[in-house]
Structure 1
Amino acid sequence: MKISASALLNELKDRTSQHLEYARILTLKTEEELNFRTSQDSWSTLECLEHLNRYGDFYISEITNRITASKTSTKDIFKPGILGNYFAKSMLPKEKMNKMKTLKTMNPIHSNLDKNVVDTFIKHQKKMLELLEDAQKVDLEKTKTNISISKLIKLKLGDTFRFVIYHNARHIGQIKRILLH
């Protein structure tokens, strides 16, 4: 698959803007609603967002540093890497969602959380929009980022953006299902 770099960034900006708008709606919910869980071992809305915030803390810093340090200039076409494409696609929401294990450090279950979690998520989405804007000046293929689970693997910046933003979409879908109960 090859895609126009600007089309990819625009699609990711659109998704991120939707995530930001949805998070703003969540600020209108009570903490009781945001802490509701469908079962004892499922996540609440705040736990889903806290999970995303923990990844956001890593990836926003990593992406910021890599864009700042990049000596590359923009390229018209983005071709995903094999591993990066696999990771990104595995995060995309599907009708029949496959359950995934999360790292212990990224699992917020039974944490004592309040609405500040929503505010942090909103800040992360605003920063992600800025980074997507900044990314227009660098090569999305040649600029590489570390990943949260291993220092040995690097992904193309375009794949990292896709992974993080699709991961957000996955859990926002989960939140919508939780709030239906």
Structure 2
Amino acid sequence: MVLHAETLLQDLIERTRKHINEAEKFKSLPTETLNWRVANDSWSILECFEHLNLYGDFYIPELKKRMESSKTQPKENFKSGVLGNYFAKSMLPKEKLNKMKTFKDKNPIGSTLDKTTMNRFIAQQEKILNLLDKSRAVDLNKIKTAISISKLIKLRIGDTFRVVVYHNERHILQANNVLNSKMPAPKQLN
């Protein structure tokens, strides 16, 4: 898959801005709503966002480090790698979200969370916006980044940005599904 580099970056920037707007909407909800789960083994809204924060803790420094150490010049087009394209496409939400196994260190289930989780997510997205803007000055094809599941596998930085942003989109949809499920009214104390 070949894309005009600026078109790709603009798409990722727009998606990231939408993610920030979604997170801002969630912040207005009561903490009780944000911590509610459909089932004991499913994630709450805050757990969806904490999962994204845990991935952001890996990818944001990785992206920044690789870009800062690069001496490449930007290219007009980005050509996705086979593995990178596969990972990116697998992250995109589908009509019915396919379940994926989460690594234990990225599974927030049972964490004690509050609205600071949302603030952290928004701050991370601001950093991603900054990195996407700075990536206009580098070759999205030549710079390689490690991925969270193995430091031995490297993806083109353009694919890594796609994976991160699409992964965010996937779990924001999951958080919206939690919100849209029929949450019981809080019990009133007599």
Q: TM-score normalised by the shorter chain: which range applies? A: over 0.9
Aligned to 1:45: 45
2:161 alignment partner AA: F
For normalisation by structure 2, the TM-score amounts to 0.94
Aligned-partner Cα distance in 1 for 2:152–2:64: 19
For normalisation by structure 1, the TM-score amounts to 0.99
Rg larger in 1 or in 2? 2
Aligned to 1:66: 66
Q: What displacement does 1:27 show?
A: 1.2
Aligned-partner Cα distance in 2 for 1:116–1:97: 27
Aligned-partner Cα distance in 2 for 1:122–1:26: 11
2:173 alignment partner AA: G
Aligned-partner Cα distance in 2 for 1:143–1:152: 15
Q: What displacement does 1:138 show?
A: 0.3
Aligned-partner Cα distance in 2 for 1:9–1:56: 18
- Of all paired residues, the percent bearing the same amino acid is 56
Alignment RMSD, CA only? 0.5
Aligned to 1:105: 105
List runs of 5+ in structure 2 lacking aligned partners: 182-190
SS, match of residue 152 in structure 2: strand
Deviations 1:149-170 (A, max 9, x none): 1111010000000000000000
Q: What displacement does 1:69 show?
A: 0.6
1:15 alignment partner AA: R
2:101 alignment partner AA: K
Aligned to 1:158: 158
Stretches (4+) displaced over 6 A: none
Q: What displacement does 1:48 show?
A: 0.4
Q: What displacement does 1:26 show?
A: 1.2
Aligned-partner Cα distance in 2 for 1:173–1:151: 28
Aligned-partner Cα distance in 2 for 1:125–1:27: 15
Deviations 1:42-101 (A, max 9, x none): 000000000000000100000010111111010000000000000000000100221100
Aligned length, in residue pairs = 181
1:93 alignment partner AA: P
Aligned-partner Cα distance in 1 for 2:39–2:96: 19
Question: Where do 1:55-94 residues align within 5 Å?
Answer: 55-94=55-94
Aligned-partner Cα distance in 2 for 1:61–1:138: 17
1:119 alignment partner AA: N
Aligned-partner Cα distance in 2 for 1:82–1:170: 21
SS, match of residue 120 in structure 1: helix
Deviations 1:116-161 (A, max 9, x none): 1000000011110000000000000101101111111010000000
